[in-house]
Chains A and B, each alone.
Chain A
Amino acid sequence: MPISKHVSMRKISPKRNPKRNILHYMHPAVVPKALRGWVIPVALLVYWWAAYYFHVNESPLFVSMGQVAKTALKLGKSGELWHALSASLYRMLMGFTLGSLAGLIVGGGLGLSRRFEGLVGPTFHAIKQVSLLAWIPLISLWFGLGDTAKIAFLSLAAFFPLALNTFEGIRSVQREFVEVAHVFAYSRWQLFRRVVLPAALPSIFTGVQLALIYSWLATLGAEFLLTSGVGIGNLLIDGREHLWMDYVLLGIAIVGIVGFVLQGIAQQIETRLLGIRSRTLGKPI
């Protein structure tokens, strides 16, 4: 944190300010660093609880924390929640796998072959500008409202970020690396395997992460707009239609947790694989 050191507000340290009154403890700088992140969430939760307890808000939309927990338990016990979650995740994984494979192939082709880029590149760059959800009406007319349409849409969502990042990763391989490889008279496959792929891998992983985020967003979008079957999105939509706030809040919490877990997994895989890469590079040849 280079700037913050110099530009930050001057901290009020207990030593400099010997008069300790209650206001002193309420100063933001006094809270221990590890606890600071918890202040706002806890305050919000306390406010939520207090608002319910003191009947600040009488609107039927206002539900208590206990109500949300009860709904979670109820749906969890009846298996409805797991059914919805597994259906959503299954579709997402299918779409993600298909889309990312296609993205890797097209991105690799665009990056490795100038001719292919000249032929397909401009069209690709034009099509990717179409906002993702704008495909849904077309897809719903072509593939119906079932799982096929959803998986087609999800693979589209995963396709673009991965294709783009693979392409950019391969293109940003430094010329010097390739020249060295030519000096060593690497074959095409060796060049790809030992130079291009390791150099492009970080960018490809950025693409994988983006693709995960987008396909999770698209899972929700698909379930909102192609309303048939079960899923987390349908849970949210049902809650909204019946004005069940507890369903909606539970759905949002689950959506957030799943997004968080997916990102965590992607990051883990990335550090593992890239860690291996740096180790092999460090070895003497």
Chain B
Amino acid sequence: MLKIFSFASGRLPLKMQNRKQHKEQNKQHAIERRALRVERNVKHSVKRNLTRKNSGVLGVSVMLEGLMAKLKSFLFAWMFPCIIFCVWLVIAHFEWIPSQILPAPSLVASTFTDLWASGELQGHIGISLQRVMSGFGVGALTGLLLGTAMGLSPTLKDYVYPIFKLYSQVPMLGWLPLLIMLVGIDEALKIILISKGAFVPVTLNTYKGLQGVPSIYIEVARVYRFTKWQLLKKVVFPSALPPIWMGLRHGLTHAWLALVAVELLASSEGLGFLMVYGRQLYQLDVVLVAVVIVGGIGLIFDKLLSVAETYLLRWRHDAF
């Protein structure tokens, strides 16, 4: 069709011509816009670099600007939780959802203060912390030992690694029924399960960390004629520390997960039990208090370990 029309007049029909022009224009616009964008990006990065470099000279105003930005981002970050909290308040106030399913914030707060004042909450937290610490201690220690042994001796690794893999394939909850049958639901069960949670990631990361020490480092150490002990202490372990530490962090997270699991399933005290208790009595306020505390303690663990990590690995930043 098109060809016939254009053949008659020697040119494109008027409509088509317009459309073609439009297309050309659009293309031109797009190119211009892109150019503008590139310019803006360049300007932006230059500006950012300038403010960074001149912060000492510009002094107070830049500092104020920085403070304002921090304040802004802080307020911004709190906006979302605040909105959710307000929605919760409104829902609870007008009782759109029955309070058994969503208790009012004031009720949760008063439950928290009641539990705290009676000392019940501290007791549960103390027991849970004690369990997680002893379980994590056992698991991390055995994990470090096994991981180190496998990392240093390939013979041992050949023997142990496949069965370790097999063992770690079954999630810790899979072992729970077996362990309950074998050791009962006493304290031993909790320690074993929590230590299993910590043991697997610590072992795996220690082993991988020792495997990943660059051979160049070891060659240098051999040039210096380090003894085996010196090699381990000055080269191998410092270089493997970041992955090992990563393993410990994961291990603690898993230990905390295992603690909650085992307390939910088989316990008569501790934070997990508090949740089960609240659920059975349909007291969602108690459950919410326990959830918030579990989250808070997890957060504190994570922060503590990351602070310790920056302290332990401060030598890494010295090079730059």
**Which A residues have a C-beta under 8 Å from some C-beta of B?**
1-4, 6-9, 11, 28-29, 33, 36-41, 61, 118-123, 126-127, 129-138, 140-142, 182-183, 185, 187, 213, 216-217, 220-221, 224-225, 233, 236-237, 239-240, 243, 245, 248-249, 251-252, 255-256, 259-260, 263
Report the Cα distance A187→B172, complex, angstroms.
47
Report the Cα distance A245→B180, complex, angstroms.
11
Q: Are B181 and A243 in contact (CB under 8 A)?
A: yes
Beyond A118-B76, A141-B101, A185-B35, is A221–B173 a contact (Cβ under 8 Å)? yes
Most buried by B among A4, A123, A138: A4
> Could you say which of B14-22, B51-59, B77-85, B138-146 contacts chain A?
B77-85
Q: Which residues 259-281 of B have a CB within 8 angstroms of A?
A: 259-261, 264-265, 272, 275-276, 278-279
Closest residue of chain A to B256 (Cβ to Cβ) is A131
In the complex, whether B175 has a CB less than 8 A from a CB of chain A is yes
Q: Which residues 270-313 of B have a CB within 8 angstroms of A?
A: 272, 275-276, 278-279, 282, 284, 287-288, 290-291, 294-296, 298-299, 302
Report the Cα distance A133→B288, complex, angstroms.
13
Say how far A261's CB is from chain B's closest CB, in angstroms. Answer: 10
Given contacts A2-B211, A134-B291, 17 further A-B contacts (CB under 8 A): A3-B152, A3-B210, A4-B211, A7-B228, A7-B231, A8-B152, A37-B163, A41-B162, A118-B76, A122-B78, A133-B261, A135-B291, A137-B290, A140-B279, A141-B100, A216-B171, A260-B169
Q: Which residues of A lie under 8 Å from residue B41 when comparing CB positions? A: 182
Closest residue of chain B to A142 (Cβ to Cβ) is B101
Closest residue of chain B to A27 (Cβ to Cβ) is B155
In the complex, whether B153 has a CB less than 8 A from a CB of chain A is yes
Q: Are B174 and A220 in contact (CB under 8 A)?
A: yes
Say how far A166's CB is from chain B's closest CB, in angstroms. Answer: 19
Q: Which residues of A lie under 8 Å from residue B162 when comparing CB positions? A: 37-38, 40-41
Q: Which residues of A lie under 8 Å from residue B34 when comparing CB positions? A: 185, 187
Chain B's interface: helix, strand, loop or mixed, by majority? helix
Closest residue of chain A to B287 (Cβ to Cβ) is A137
- Number of residues of chain B lying within 8 A (CB) of chain A: 77
Q: List 26 A-B contacts (CB under 8 A).
A: A4-B211, A8-B152, A8-B154, A37-B158, A37-B163, A39-B159, A40-B162, A118-B77, A123-B77, A123-B84, A126-B295, A129-B302, A131-B256, A131-B295, A133-B257, A134-B275, A134-B290, A137-B279, A141-B282, A182-B37, A185-B34, A185-B37, A217-B171, A224-B176, A236-B174, A252-B175
Q: Are A119 and B77 in contact (CB under 8 A)?
A: yes
Tell me which of A36, A38, A127 contacts B295 (CB under 8 A): A127
Q: Which 6 A-B pairs have the closest CB atoms?
A: A37-B162, A2-B215, A130-B295, A36-B158, A129-B298, A185-B34
